[in-house]
Amino acid sequence: MQLTEYEQQMRDGLHGKARALALNYQIQIGQVFGAERMAEVQRVHAPLTQLDGDNWFIKEFLQREAKLDIIATTNPVYDVNYFEQIGSPEPQEYVKLISEVQDRFAQIGLMPSFNCTPQLEANVPRINEIVAFSESSAVPYVNGILGARTNRESAKSALMAAITGRVPVHGLLLDENRKANVLIEVKASLNHAFDYRLLGFATGKLMGNNIPVFTCIPNNPSPEELLNLCTDINVSAAVAMLHIVGVTPEAPDVATALGNKKPQHTFSITDEHLDEARQSMCDFEHAKIDFVMLGCAHYTLQQIKVVANLLAGQHLAQDVELWILASPQMRDTAKQMGYLDIIERSGGHIIGGSCSVMPVWDRRFDGKVGVTDSLKLKFYNSPQNMRIKVMSMDSCIDAAIKGQC
Ligand code: F3S
């Protein structure tokens, strides 16, 4: 591994023990992947949990006086602030542990964004920028929509990148590894943002960890439609890079996206594939429901606004709960703009900084029947004792008002 003079000093401990430790780990990771050098990063998304492994890891660096110089956002966490609102309190000892871990995040300098859509709001990379992002819905968006460059980092490798401001150069940081090798001809009608979720899931089932190039996607898809595609493609695959002709900066046309090579596979995605995807993720077709959960990935302000418009002047059916997940910052903005008030008056809630797979939700929805617009949410919650149907946001809100779908 070729190091610059500054990186060699870092390795020798001249810039602190924490940086030396982190860089040495990164050199070993880089060697595994054949990296020949490091690249500078100024932007990281580190999805650290409050589980033992991540806590131990942060403590190791704090003991060596680590302090971040760059922006590092964080994924949703298990946050004591919303336990009371959800009405599912944890044992006191656990609340204490969670608070301690959050203090550690602050001590090291992690930004408490607690969101899974940093690339849309708090931490937006520019085109061609090398960054270190984790989160399966964010990584294909960063690479394929924004045209920045990241490998699929782990919580720990992202934290080390935040400490050193470096990443080993391999994988998707290199031009030759970013080309598509599978052609996806979209023949399905994409009339609704929800259809992009179904397209993502249906495509993911064909992909493994290949790189798709999509053709025939309607002009000018919205950020939310693209987020839906990037979120639900990784329910059934491990796609870190995708191309959409006319959207991806590296895909002005199909030939360029494919690196002027023939695709290894060509697939057409039709309306039937979308319908199959929807049906495969529904535990029932019609039922009386107990809850609606939206915001996996976290809802944008635009999505919250649409929900508020759908709910304005109406009330949820008796005994039906509506929970919307968003970043704490987006919840504050929704409050300032009056959307939160409309949603709360109808009986719904916006929770800032939570994730749909956290145990508070398992307890709250134990034995219940619900609907969501997220295939990812349905997939992750399938092992729990709840029955879920996936359908569009509008249909979810309609079901919340009628109490059934
Ligand atoms: Fe976000 Fe959790 Fe869903 S991190 S994408 S709400 S599984």
Residue-wise pLDDT for 282-309, tens only, equals: 999 999 999 999 999 999 999 999 999 9
Written as six digits, the tokens of 369 are: 């029947």
By alpha-carbon position, which residue is closest to atom 3 of ligand 1? 296
Number of helices (H), then strands (E), in the chain: 17, 14
* Mean pLDDT confidence for 1-20: 97
Ligand 1 pocket residue status of 358, Cβ below 6 Å: no
- pLDDT higher at 13 or 361: 13
Q: Cis link prior to 297 (omega < 30° from 0)? A: yes
pLDDT of residue 85 exceeding 80: no
* Mean pLDDT confidence for 82-86: 77
Q: Which atom of ligand 1 is nearest to the CA of 358?
A: 2
* Mean pLDDT confidence for 96-116: 88
- pLDDT higher at 209 or 83: 209
Banded model confidence at residue 176, pLDDT cuts 50, 70, 90: very high
What DSSP string runs through 312-366?
A: TT--PPTT-EEEEEE-HHHHHHHHHTTHHHHHHHTT-EEEES--TTSHHHHHHTT
* Ligand 1 pocket: which of 377, 388, 390 to mutate (most atoms within 8 A of CB): 377
Banded model confidence at residue 88, pLDDT cuts 50, 70, 90: low
* Cβ 267 vs Cβ 183: under 8 Å: yes
* Cβ 209 vs Cβ 237: under 8 Å: yes
- pLDDT higher at 109 or 54: 109
Using a pLDDT cut of 70, give the percent of the chain over it.
Answer: 99
* Mean pLDDT confidence for 352-373: 92
Predicted local confidence at residue 208, as pLDDT: 83
Predicted local confidence at residue 105, as pLDDT: 87
Banded model confidence at residue 213, pLDDT cuts 50, 70, 90: very high
Banded model confidence at residue 207, pLDDT cuts 50, 70, 90: very high
pLDDT of residue 94 exceeding 90: no
By alpha-carbon position, which residue is closest to atom 5 of ligand 1? 297
pLDDT of residue 87 exceeding 90: no
Distance CA 352, CA 332 (A): 8
Q: Which atom of ligand 1 is nearest to the CA of 380?
A: 7
Going from the Cα of 277 to the center of ligand 1, the distance in angstroms, rounded, reads 20
* Mean pLDDT confidence for 41-69: 90
* Ligand 1 pocket: which of 296, 323, 331 to mutate (most atoms within 8 A of CB): 296
Going from the Cα of 185 to the center of ligand 1, the distance in angstroms, rounded, reads 28
* Mean pLDDT confidence for 348-373: 92
Predicted local confidence at residue 89, as pLDDT: 64
* Mean pLDDT confidence for 219-224: 95
Ligand 1 pocket residue status of 351, Cβ below 6 Å: no
Angle at which helix 155-164 crosses helix 52-63, to 10 degrees, equals: 20
Going from the Cα of 297 to the center of ligand 1, the distance in angstroms, rounded, reads 5
Predicted local confidence at residue 154, as pLDDT: 94
pLDDT of residue 191 exceeding 90: yes
Distance CA 172, CA 213 (A): 15
Ligand 1 pocket residue status of 25, Cβ below 6 Å: no
Banded model confidence at residue 382, pLDDT cuts 50, 70, 90: confident
Ligand 1 pocket residue status of 356, Cβ below 6 Å: yes
How are beta strands 166-168 and 132-133 bridged, if at all?
unpaired
Residue-wise pLDDT for 384-404, tens only, equals: 999 999 999 999 999 999 999
Predicted local confidence at residue 306, as pLDDT: 98
CA distances from 340 to 3, 271, 397 (A): 51, 35, 15
Residue-wise pLDDT for 225-284, tens only, equals: 999 999 999 998 999 999 999 999 999 999 999 999 999 999 999 999 999 999 999 999
Distance CA 312, CA 305 (A): 10
Predicted local confidence at residue 84, as pLDDT: 74
Banded model confidence at residue 97, pLDDT cuts 50, 70, 90: confident
Ligand 1 pocket residue status of 47, Cβ below 6 Å: no
Non-local (6+) Cβ contacts of 16 within 8 A are 64, 65, 66
pLDDT of residue 348 exceeding 80: yes
Going from the Cα of 110 to the center of ligand 1, the distance in angstroms, rounded, reads 19
* Mean pLDDT confidence for 112-125: 95
Q: Which atom of ligand 1 is nearest to the CA of 75?
A: 4
Residue whose C-alpha is closest to residue 112's, from 123, 96, 127, 120:
123
Predicted local confidence at residue 55, as pLDDT: 86
How does the average pLDDT of the chain come out, rounded? 94
* Ligand 1 pocket: which of 50, 201, 356 to mutate (most atoms within 8 A of CB): 356
Going from the Cα of 155 to the center of ligand 1, the distance in angstroms, rounded, reads 15
Banded model confidence at residue 359, pLDDT cuts 50, 70, 90: confident
Ligand 1 pocket residue status of 294, Cβ below 6 Å: no
Burial (0-12, 13-18, 19+ Cβ within 10 Å), 185: middle
* Mean pLDDT confidence for 335-340: 98
pLDDT of residue 350 exceeding 90: yes
* Cβ 274 vs Cβ 187: under 8 Å: no
pLDDT of residue 81 exceeding 80: no
Residue-wise pLDDT for 119-172, tens only, equals: 999 999 999 999 999 999 999 999 999 999 999 999 999 999 999 999 999 999
Q: Which atom of ligand 1 is nearest to the CA of 325?
A: 6
